């Protein structure tokens, strides 16, 4: 029954909002750690999910990395899969590939062939003509949304001469971009589109900046998504087009080591501007690079998660509250 109700809502609501919210399946976000931090990730972005959050971030990856994720959405009504691959190259260059899919199975389809030739009185008095009572679909179909991203990032180190303070400020600059291909399918109708993202991250050592040895690193990230807008063209007779709107993500993160505890605390903050201003907050505690626990918040949604790392294998889990149903995510990352 939940699937029936959702499908009815889609039929009513989709024509009204498709043009404006055509890319909302992408806003669910890739990765597990990132969602455990409430989406406050554009200034961190140091794993394969960076291809979505801030492509420049894959420049921080200096080992080959493969990652996979599955999320269960809307109380099991849909599932969300993600796969990423990142390959570092010489001269601070990293290439990456990301594939994300949202899938809804077994959507019921009700034709009207069985009521052809009947009148209102017949349909209101005979249960055989009442769709709600019969409740047997003519068939079922599948809907999916695919996002393919191909990313490039470059790392540049620069010592900024602060001559009047008699020291050089170290800056690690990461520049990146990705090209995305979107493919959507509803029953036997397809929509496709191509878009571009451009992004950057600047990191510096606050112990040098403020002359306090105990301080950690500061990171600032910015991601321009769907620059110029991304059009999705449908293969219908009308050749209808939807537009994925341009979005700007701005993020800040502080990485503070706790030397005595052999740990690190990460504080993160992000702002999205695509429809309205949305603030994301994240907090993470990492112990010996072995165990990490985290929590996050945005738009009245709370999240939590953890990671366990053994050698070069990381197992990630995240839980996110949502008005449409709580979400569980599990993921695996392997570096070699």
- pLDDT at residue 2 above 70? no
End-to-end CA distance of the chain: 46
* Half-sphere CA count of 208, side-chain side, radius 13 A: 15
Find residue 221's DSSP bridge partners. 201, 251
**Length of the chain in residues, anyone?**
336
- If one counts the domains in the chain, the total is 1
3-state SS, one letter per residue, for the chain: CHHHHHHHHHHHHHHHHCCCCCCCCHHHCCCCHHHHCCCCCCCCCCCCCHHHHCHHHHHHCCCCEEEEEEEEECCCCEEEEEEEEEEEECCCEEEEEEEEEEEEEEEEECCCHHHCCCCHHHHHHCHHHCHHHHCCCCEEEEEEEEEEEEEEEEEEEEEEEEHHHCEEEEEEEEEEEEEEEEEEEECCEEEEEEEEEEEEEEEEEHHHHCCCCCCCEEEEEEEEECCCCEEEEECCCCCCEEEECCEEEEEEEEEEEEHHHCEEEEEEEEEECCCCCEEEEEEEEEECCCEEEEEEEECCEEEEEEEEEECCEEEEEEEECCCCCCEEEEEEEEEC
Mean pLDDT within 87-104: 93
State residue 303's pLDDT score. Answer: 94
123 part of a folded domain? no
Among candidates 137, 165, 2, which has minimal Cα distance to 77?
Answer: 2
- pLDDT at residue 1 above 80? no
Q: Specify the range with the lowest mean pLDDT, choosing from 48-57, 229-238, 277-286.
A: 229-238
Q: Specify the range with the lowest mean pLDDT, choosing from 45-54, 88-97, 141-150, 245-254.
A: 141-150
More confident residue, 320 or 149: 149
- pLDDT at residue 129 above 90? no
Separation CA 191–CA 183 (nearest Å): 6
More confident residue, 44 or 104: 44
9 part of a folded domain? yes
State residue 171's pLDDT score. Answer: 92
115 part of a folded domain? no
More confident residue, 266 or 186: 266
CA of 219: how far to CAs of 223, 260, 305, 324, in Å?
13, 23, 22, 33
Question: How far, in whole angstroms, is CA 166 from its chain's centroid?
Answer: 43
State residue 130's pLDDT score. Answer: 58
113 part of a folded domain? no
- pLDDT at residue 179 above 60? yes
114 part of a folded domain? no
State residue 289's pLDDT score. Answer: 84
Cβ neighbours of residue 151 closer than 8 Å, sequence gap 6 or more: 50, 51, 55, 58, 95, 96, 97, 98, 176, 177, 178
Q: Is 44 exposed, middle or buried (0-12, 13-18, 19+ CB in 10 A)?
A: buried
Q: Tell me what percent of the residues of the chain surpass a pLDDT of 90.
A: 50
In which domain, by residue range, is 250 found? 2-108+141-335
130 part of a folded domain? no
40 part of a folded domain? yes
174 part of a folded domain? yes
How many other β-carbons are positioned within 10 Å of the β-carbon of residue 38? 28
Encode pLDDT of 252-292 as tens digits.
Answer: 999 999 988 999 999 999 999 877 889 999 999 999 889 99
Cβ neighbours of residue 211 closer than 8 Å, sequence gap 6 or more: none
State residue 218's pLDDT score. Answer: 96
Q: Specify the range with the lowest mean pLDDT, choosing from 116-125, 134-143, 240-249, 280-289.
A: 116-125
| CATH number for the domain harbouring residue 40 | 2.40.160.40
């Amino acid at each position: 029954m939940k699937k029936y109700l959702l499908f009815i809502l889609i039929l009513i609501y989709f024509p009204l909002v498709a043009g404006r919210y055509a890319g909302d399946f992408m806003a669910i976000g890739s990765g597990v750690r990132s969602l455990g931090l409430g989406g406050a990730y554009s200034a961190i972005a140091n794993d394969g999910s960076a291809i979505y959050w801030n492509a420049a971030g894959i420049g921080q990856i200096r080992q080959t990395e493969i990652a996979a994720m599955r999320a269960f959405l809307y109380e099991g009504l849909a599932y969300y899969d993600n796969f990423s691959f990142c390959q570092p190259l010489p001269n601070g260059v990293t290439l990456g590939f990301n594939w994300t899919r949202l899938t809804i199975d077994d959507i019921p389809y009700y034709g009207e062939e069985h009521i052809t030739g009947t009148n209102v009185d017949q349909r209101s008095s005979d249960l055989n003509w009442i769709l709600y009572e019969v409740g047997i679909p003519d068939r079922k179909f599948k809907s999916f949304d695919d996002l393919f991203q191909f990313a490039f990032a470059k790392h540049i180190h620069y010592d900024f001469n602060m001559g009047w303070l008699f020291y050089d400020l170290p800056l690690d600059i990461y520049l990146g971009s990705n090209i995305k291909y979107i493919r959507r399918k509803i029953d036997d109708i397809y929509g496709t589109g191509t878009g571009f993202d451009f992004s950057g991250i600047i990191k510096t050592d606050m112990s040098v900046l403020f002359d306090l040895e105990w301080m950690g690193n500061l990171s600032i990230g910015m991601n321009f998504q769907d620059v110029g807008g991304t059009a999705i063209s449908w293969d219908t007779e009308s050749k209808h087009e939807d537009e994925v709107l341009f979005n700007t993500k701005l993020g800040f993160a502080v990485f503070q080591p706790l030397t005595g505890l052999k740990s690190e605390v990460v504080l993160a903050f992000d702002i999205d501007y695509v429809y309205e201003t949305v603030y994301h907050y994240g907090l993470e505690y990492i112990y010996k690079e072995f165990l990490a626990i985290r929590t996050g918040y945005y738009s009245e949604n709370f999240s939590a998660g953890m990671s366990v790392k053994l050698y070069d294998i990381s197992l990630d889990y995240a839980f996110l509250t949502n008005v449409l149903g709580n979400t569980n995510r599990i993921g695996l990352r392997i570096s070699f």
